[in-house]
């Protein structure tokens, strides 16, 4: 089967055609970094307008690249949440219109499911269950991925997401937006032991994350004027890595046994974090795998792939399904623990 995927939940407009045997037939992605850079973050109205302008020609372009017509697709998949509601609606409404016009099934997908299943697009040998570290701009979670639609959340952040911490650190250091890649680049020139920074929640009984205190400490380090920016970046990144490994070790104790550790989401494109996770997994006799960086940051191939996974199970969604600004992958965790934790 072939699935058309559409992504528009944040500030990347993307469309892709992916087959159920893992071939990316075509994909286009347009970042809006330049449009949002002057504001230091994503402006929802600007994002929604940009998606609306770019999406239709982009869908035409991926079909043209693959030399296909819409009728040759087996399903139309779009992110239906969570994310900025204006952008999500642009993508979902486009998918509904295409599904209606072609008579093909609609898949209204959770963006986080796209991230969560992306390791299986990149690597056919990744089987359920696996332990997933999901680290992105809006989320920082450890999940047991037990099947398509079967996600058990073991840990989440009690304040900031890891990508957010990278972005705030970049802002403090004057590195611009988006911040993650810039912090990673600067960190390569710094001494990770130079600046004493906290490891929030390290050693605590529950495997949750916290990054707000780390960000505040980065701000104090910068304002003290005593440290090189590269040393602050490197020390921040090392503190984040130490937190991740400590929390993962804790989560593994409470997770059903999985022999594979995977990382996904925008922060998973960070080479230092990938390297640390690989060593961590190897030391525990676990396999480690991560999608290539371009499949970690937002893209439509992961949405098309999640659609492929659901197509294989015969799922589809009604054409009147609503977009959801908030949409946890594991609703049980959300209702039991309440918002935030
Ligand atoms: P979510 O997926 O939670 O809805 P999002 O879609 O906005 O949020 P992603 O595109 O998955 O987020 O990831 C973007 C985040 O990843 C940003 O915070 C960005 O700074 C971070 N990021 C990207 N590349 C790197 C990197 N090399 N190192 C660290 N962080 C990075
Ligand atoms: Mg982006
Ligand atoms: Fe994302």
Decide the pairing of beta strands 106-110 and 75-81. parallel
Give, for ligand 1, the residue of 136, 168, 175, 327 to mutate: max count of ligand atoms closer than 8 Å to Cβ: 136
Q: Is the pTM of this model over 0.95?
A: yes
pLDDT of residue 335: 60
Name the β-bridge partners of 212: none
Give, for ligand 1, the residue of 7, 85, 180 to mutate: max count of ligand atoms closer than 8 Å to Cβ: 180
> Residue 203: pLDDT above 60?
yes
Helix H or strand E segment including 22 = none
CA 10/CA 89 separation, integer angstroms? 11
| CA–centroid distance, residue 10 to ligand 3 (Å) | 8
Helix residue ranges, H only, 15-125: 33-36, 44-66, 85-102, 111-122
Q: What is the mean pLDDT of residues 26-52?
A: 94
Helix H or strand E segment including 32 = none
| CA–centroid distance, residue 205 to ligand 2 (Å) | 33
Q: How many Å separate Cα 324 from the centre of its chain?
A: 17
- 111 appears as a binding residue in the annotation: yes
* Atom from ligand 1 closest to the CA of residue 265: 11
| CA–centroid distance, residue 266 to ligand 2 (Å) | 8
> Residue 340: pLDDT above 60?
no
- 135 appears as a binding residue in the annotation: yes
Q: For residue 33, which of 20, 50, 19, 58 has the smallest C-alpha distance? A: 50
CA 115/CA 10 separation, integer angstroms? 14
pLDDT of residue 341: 47
Q: Are 84 and 37 in contact (CB under 8 A)?
A: no
Q: What is the mean pLDDT of residues 130-145?
A: 97
CA 159/CA 161 separation, integer angstroms? 7
Strand order in the sheet with 24-31: 24-31, 12-19, 2-7, 75-81, 106-110
Preceding peptide of 129 cis, ω within 30°? yes
pLDDT of residue 339: 42
Q: For residue 96, which of 310, 308, 318, 307 has the smallest C-alpha distance? A: 318
pLDDT of residue 176: 86
Q: What are residue 277's phi and psi, to 5 degrees?
A: -70, -35
Q: Taking all residues of the chain, what is their mean pLDDT, rounded to a whole number?
A: 96
| CA–centroid distance, residue 12 to ligand 2 (Å) | 5
pLDDT of residue 207: 96
- Residue 100: CB atoms within 10 A of its CB come to 12
pLDDT in tens, 191-201: 999 999 999 99
The two tokens of residue 40 are 């230091």
| Cβ of 105 less than 6 Å from ligand 1 | no
Write the CB contacts of 77 (distance below 8 Å, at least 6 apart in sequence).
3, 4, 5, 6, 95, 106, 107, 109, 303, 304, 306, 307, 310
- 298 appears as a binding residue in the annotation: yes
CA 35/CA 266 separation, integer angstroms? 19
| Cβ of 157 less than 6 Å from ligand 1 | no
Residue 279 CA: distances (Å) to CA of 135, 241, 276, 290, 341: 18, 12, 5, 13, 28
DSSP per-residue string spanning 33-44:
HHHHGGGTS--H
pLDDT in tens, 267-293: 999 999 999 999 999 999 999 999 999
Q: pLDDT confidence of 45, banded at 50, 70, 90?
A: very high
The two tokens of residue 331 are 């609703």
Tokens 């001494």 belong to: 191
């Amino acid at each position: 089967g072939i699935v058309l995927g559409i992504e528009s939940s944040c500030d990347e407009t993307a469309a892709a055609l992916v087959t159920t045997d893992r071939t990316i037939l075509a994909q286009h992605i347009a970042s809006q970094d330049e449009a949002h850079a002057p504001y230091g973050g994503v402006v929802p109205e600007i994002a929604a307008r940009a998606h609306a302008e770019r999406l239709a020609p982009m869908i035409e372009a991926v079909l043209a690249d693959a030399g296909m017509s819409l009728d040759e697709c087996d399903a139309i998949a779009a992110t239906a949440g969570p994310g900025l509601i204006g952008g999500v609606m642009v993508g979902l409404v486009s998918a509904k219109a295409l599904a209606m016009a072609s008579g093909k099934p609609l898949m209204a997908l959770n963006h986080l499911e796209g991230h969560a299943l992306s390791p299986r697009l990149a690597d056919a040998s990744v089987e359920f269950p696996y332990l997933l570290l999901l680290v992105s701009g809006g989320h920082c979670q450890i999940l047991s991925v037990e099947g398509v639609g079967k996600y058990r959340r073991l840990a989440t952040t009690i304040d900031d997401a890891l990508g957010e911490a990278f972005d705030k650190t970049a802002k403090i250091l004057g590195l611009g937006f988006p911040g993650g890649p810039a912090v990673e680049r600067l960190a390569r020139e710094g001494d990770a032991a130079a600046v004493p920074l906290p490891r929030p929640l390290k050693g605590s009984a529950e495997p949750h994350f916290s990054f707000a205190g780390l960000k505040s400490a980065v701000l104090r380090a910068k304002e003290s004027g005593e440290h090189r920016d590269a040393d602050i970046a490197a020390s921040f990144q090392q503190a984040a890595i130490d937190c991740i490994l400590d929390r993962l070790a804790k989560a593994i104790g409470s997770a059903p046994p999985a022999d594979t550790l995977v990382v996904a989401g925008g922060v998973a494109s960070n080479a230092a974090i990938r390297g640390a996770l690989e060593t961590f997994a190897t030391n525990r006799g676990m396999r480690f795998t991560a999608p290539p960086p371009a499949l970690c940051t937002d893209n439509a191939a992961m949405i098309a792939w999640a659609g492929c996974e659901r197509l294989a199970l015969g799922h589809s969604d009604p054409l009147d399904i609503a977009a959801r600004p908030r949409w946890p992958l594991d609703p049980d965790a959300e209702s039991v623990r309440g918002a935030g934790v």
